[in-house]
Every structure is written in C-alpha cells, then in structure tokens.
Amino acid sequence: MNVDLYDFELPERLIAQTPLADRAASRLLTLNKATGEIGHHHFPHILDELRPGDTLVLNDTRVLPARLFGVKEDTGAKAEVLLLKNLSGDQWETLVKPGKKLKKGSVIVFGDELKAVVEEEGEMGSRVLSFSYSGIFNEILDRLGQMPLPPYIKEKLDDKERYQTVYARHEGSAAAPTAGLHFTEELLEAIRAKGVTIAFVTLHVGLGTFRPMSVDRVEDHVMHEEYYILPQETADILNETRERGGRVIAVGTTSARTLETVAGKCEGGKIVKSSGWTGIFIYPGYTFRLVDALITNFHLPKSTLVMLVSALAGREHIMNAYREAVRREYRFFSFGDAMFIY
C-alpha cells in the first residue's frame, strides 16, 4: 500500500499555532464510520454523542519540560536536546541538534547545574545521553526545560499547563496526547453525570510522534516503541462495558493504540492489566478488537495517525472528511479542532 494514498492538500494556515483560550471552544466534526455521514458542531456537543453505559478512555500521561538548550563544552557551539525516554538511571534516549556535530564523547553543558555526555549515536539525530548534576533531576528540568512543542509550532507557549490535559498525572511524555486538550473538568463531570464511565490508561508519547514516514510502502514503516500501562481498575471497567453492550471510546490515538495492544495480548478473552512496550502500527486492513469509537484531532498528511483513523473509518470516508475539514477551515493538529469517529 502506497503512502501517497494518504496525502492531501493542507494549507499551512490551518495548522494551529496556539491553543484557544477556552479548551472547549474547539470545533467538532462527527463522522459515522459506517455511512460516512458528517456533522459539524462545537466540542461540548460531544456530550450529546455519548450514551449512558459507554466508557471514555483517557491517556493520563504528563508531558515533561523535555526540551533543553545548552552548549558544547569544548567549542561553546549551541546544542538542543529533546528527552524522549528514560533508559535507566540518568541515561536517556534523546533527539539532538545539530546531530552531525554531537558525536560520541561530546559533552553538552546546560548552565552550572546540568551536563550530558553523548554515549551512543543513532540515526536522524537520535543519541543516548548520560546526565550528571547536583540536586534532583526533575526539579532541574522544571527550571531549565521548555515544553517540547512539535516543530511546526513556531510560537512560544507562555503557559506550560496549556500543553497538558486537565487529567495529566504520570510524567514521562515527550508530547501531549492532544485529543484530550479539549476537555475541561466541568465537561468531564457532565459526562460522568450522563452515566458514562471514565477510565484511564498511560502511554508515554515518544520518538514516533516526531519522526515522519520515510518509506514509500506503508507496510515497510516501523513504529518506535512507547511505554504503556493499563491498570486492573481499567481492565475491569472495560470488561463490564463490553458485557453491558456499551461502547469503548478512545480519546486520542495513544489511548487507542494502548487498548488495541492489550486486546491483542488478551486474544479475544477478558482484558487484564498489562504494561510494557508497544510498537503497534494500525493501518487499513487492521481489525479493531476493543475500540468502538475515537475522539481525535486532525492529523498531518501521510502520517501514521491518518492511517490509524483510516483503519477505523475507511480511507475514503476519512479523506472525504478531511477535504471537508479543509474546506471549512478546521484547525489541524496539536492545538487544532477535534473529530469524533463513531
């Protein structure tokens, strides 16, 4: 299957650069995956789309202020580091700039309290760094680090919490699970009051979010693994939801990938608690085992995320919905508008 099948024209002006002041002010496009019917609403309308007995699954990961700016110790040249994954102790998988100049053994200095040594070199700017410091690493990171906004967002984010969901709990992501940015505490309470159960999984978003596809055939792409946790409480809720005939609705592709990873491990049986690394790549031809519906943002052309939503709703329905979203000037990607596929 050719990657170009998932290309579409996206005017740059539609890539949202800043979040809306009101989280719930986003627009919402609804898509019936069976018929292709499209509706246009504002995000609080999601309450009308949910039914008593449904379960909404949220990814409660919290974004690290993982972008660090320093200099090479020997030359004073500027260096940028993005923390992706804690490997062990003070050793991290990272992306660095400029990659060509940060070779094995290079030392990067971040002010007076943090230093890193390049221990391993990978492709496309990936490096394993070992950090040394005095004090507590997370406190230093809070002081020195900036939020790791995607590269297409040019404007600085003054309020760090605006790149966190209101339910973010477990720190460890290099990017936000952005479908959840639309929810407010008030909307979540209204959803619970309607008889919809809310459950949580954790998937720490990593390198895959920042890596474009570099192959021509979809099947040749390899996803980067990310760490997930599905607790027993959530497993119990999911089993109860299926037994009563309710829908499992994933908020975001990260929640969907976590749910489908665990469902695959359970091989059609009852869902049980699970944790580990997942590199699941969902594209058309995939049969969903657990996810019935999905709340998601609008994704970039030829991305793995467009392929995931196409697997759920069908490529023709998705491409048609995206053309309609472009025509009506919906805002795309991290700080953009939302879509409900049901």
State the number of CA atoms in the 13 A half-sphere of 12 facing the CB.
3
Q: Judge whether residue 208 has pLDDT over 70.
A: no
pLDDT for 203 equals 97
Residue 285, SS3 per DSSP = coil
Q: What is the pLDDT of residues 310-330, one digit of tens each?
A: 999 999 999 999 999 999 999
The number of domains in the chain is 2
Residues 86 and 140 in one domain: yes
Instruction: Calculate Rg over the CA atoms of the chain.
Output: 20
Looking at the structure, tell me whether residues 226 and 315 fall in a common domain.
yes
Q: What is the CATH number of the domain that holds 127?
A: 2.40.10.240
Q: Tell which residue, 132, 175, 126, has the closest CA to residue 153.
A: 175
Q: What's the domain range around 33?
A: 3-63+159-341
pLDDT digits (tens, 9 = 90+) for 139-165: 999 999 988 887 778 777 878 899 999
Whether residue 149 lies inside any domain: the answer is no
Name which of 65, 63, 82, 61 is nearest 252 in CA terms.
61
pTM: 0.90
Residues 79-108: what's their mean pLDDT?
92
> Do 56 and 72 reside in the same domain of the chain?
no
Q: Which amino acid is at 13?
A: R
pLDDT (tens digit, 9 = 90+) per residue, 50-90? 999 999 999 999 999 999 999 999 999 999 999 988 898 99
Residue 37's identity, in one-letter code, is E
Q: Are 283 and 314 in contact (CB under 8 A)?
A: no
Q: How confident is residue 212, by pLDDT bands cut at 50, 70 and 90?
A: low
Look at residue 178 and give its three-state secondary structure.
helix
Tens digits of per-residue pLDDT, 293-305? Answer: 999 999 999 999 9
Residue at 244 is within a domain? yes
35, 168: one domain: yes
Whether 299 and 329 map to the same domain: the answer is: yes
On whether both 94 and 171 belong to a single domain, the answer is no
Tens-digit pLDDT profile for residues 9-20: 999 999 999 999
In a domain, 151, yes or no: no
